[in-house]
Amino acid sequence: MILLTGGTGLVGSHLLYELTADGKKVRALKRKGSRLDITEKIFEWYNPEKFTEQFQRIEWIDGDLSDIFSLREALQGVKTVYHCAAVVSFVPSERPKMLKINIDGTANLVNACLMEGVEKFCHCSSIAAVGRPDKGTWVDESLIWKTSKKNSYYSISKFGAEREVWRGSEEGLQVVIVNPSVIIGPGDPDRSSARLFTTVKDGLRFYSSGSTGFVDARDVAKAMKILTESDIHDERYILNSENISYKELFEIFARYAKVNPPFFRAGRTLSEMAWRLEKLRSLLTGSNPLITKETARSANSRYQFSNEKIMDELGTRFYSVEESAKNTAGFFEKYPDISN
């Protein structure tokens, strides 16, 4: 039996599709009250004729990463675990919750896996957990994490989660970690990186001067499945298709969304002003800021991520950003009311 956490998220829903398309039955851990309709629509998007039959291969169960007893119950009869659940936030008020779920929740899951005799553990981390170089822009798996002002609290939470996974490895659990760059694909338009596309579609006017790596959700799911089903363990892999600027990404998104691309450049000075004004607005209104200090500075940073290790060892072929944008645009065109 397979257990997957975070099945209603961008990576988790695509991984559920990948596993069930192979005929596997999967037990998916979700929070009580989580929406399943978006995950089901993703199944329908990729397999319109037989998605219902495929979706029924999932055994949904309520659980909580903070409750080790519910985790142990979910792990009964399970030999393989895919851990995709995590909080992604750059809002200061949400940092304690994010650190607790991402680090302590992962520790609880690892401990439960050790107690219940799980054989293989695949952890979906993030490129943010690899760290940032002191000099230059190039990042690969050899980079050693260092405490730095360049690290966001999200980065810190994902690095902390990885430490718990490596600790599990030292205690006898076979593990593999993937570090995706910014993930593109169909999903909840109000969450995660799917929001990038819908923001451009809704008429985004500004683009930042930064650049980063991007990867398709389908490629992340496929790589996780292949690595977990292989003899590979105690390794980590950066998953990245292309390194491009945010301006290029937004232009591609705009073309497929059939809207005008952003045309105002928000450099460092304008971005620094924007997050301060947005902080003031959020204090006055009580709502979360749309731009924070971390997101503003990240959007103007430039990094390049290597995919050589996964390419050399598995011969992986990644979807291009163009292909990912086309797939995402088609999904939201078919399901225009998905956020309702």
For residue 273, pLDDT beyond 50: no
Rounded-to-integer distance, Cα 90 and Cα 94, Å: 8
| Helix (H), strand (E) at residue 154 | helix 153-170
Convert the pLDDT of each residue in 187-226 to its tens digit: 988 776 777 888 888 887 777 778 899 999 999 999 999 9
Residue with tokens 């011969």, as numbered in its chain: 315
Q: Would you state the pLDDT for residue 214?
A: 95
For residue 293, pLDDT beyond 70: no
What ranges do the domains of the chain cover?
Answer: 2-187+212-243+304-326
Q: Would you state the pLDDT for residue 131?
A: 84
| Helix (H), strand (E) at residue 170 | helix 153-170
Question: What CATH number should be reported for the domain whose range is 2-187+212-243+304-326?
Answer: 3.40.50.720
Q: Would you state the pLDDT for residue 269?
A: 57
Helix axis angle for 194-201 and 321-334, nearest 10°, is 70
Which DSSP symbol is given to 177?
E
176 within 8 A of 123, measured Cβ to Cβ = yes
> β-strands 211-216, 242-245: how paired?
antiparallel
109 within 8 A of 168, measured Cβ to Cβ = no
Q: Would you state the pLDDT for residue 152?
A: 85
Confidence label for 32 from pLDDT (cuts 50, 70 and 90): confident
Convert the pLDDT of each residue in 82-130 to its tens digit: 999 998 877 777 889 999 999 999 999 999 999 999 999 999 999 999 9
Rounded-to-integer distance, Cα 18 and Cα 6, Å: 14
Task: Compute CA 69 distance to the chain's CA centroid, rounded to the nearest angstrom.
Answer: 26
Q: Would you state the pLDDT for residue 268?
A: 62
Residue with tokens 């029924």, as numbered in its chain: 56
Which DSSP symbol is given to 77?
T
Q: Measured between alpha carbons, how far is residue 219 from residues 11, 196, 248 in Å?
A: 10, 18, 21
Q: Would you state the pLDDT for residue 201?
A: 85
Lowest-confidence segment of 63-67, 174-178, 192-196 by average pLDDT: 192-196
Tokens of 181: 């760059």
Buried b (16+ CB within 10 A) or exposed e, 261-277: bbeeebeeeebeebbee
Residue with the bigger pLDDT between 242 and 286: it is: 242
55 within 8 A of 20, measured Cβ to Cβ = yes
Q: Would you state the pLDDT for residue 114?
A: 97
Q: Would you state the pLDDT for residue 34?
A: 84
Radius of gyration of the chain (CA): 19
Q: Would you state the pLDDT for residue 337?
A: 82
Convert the pLDDT of each residue in 113-172 to its tens digit: 999 999 999 999 999 999 888 777 889 999 988 887 778 888 999 999 999 999 999 999
Which DSSP symbol is given to 241?
S
Confidence label for 340 from pLDDT (cuts 50, 70 and 90): low
For residue 5, pLDDT beyond 50: yes
For residue 323, pLDDT beyond 60: yes
Residue with the bigger pLDDT between 265 and 229: it is: 229
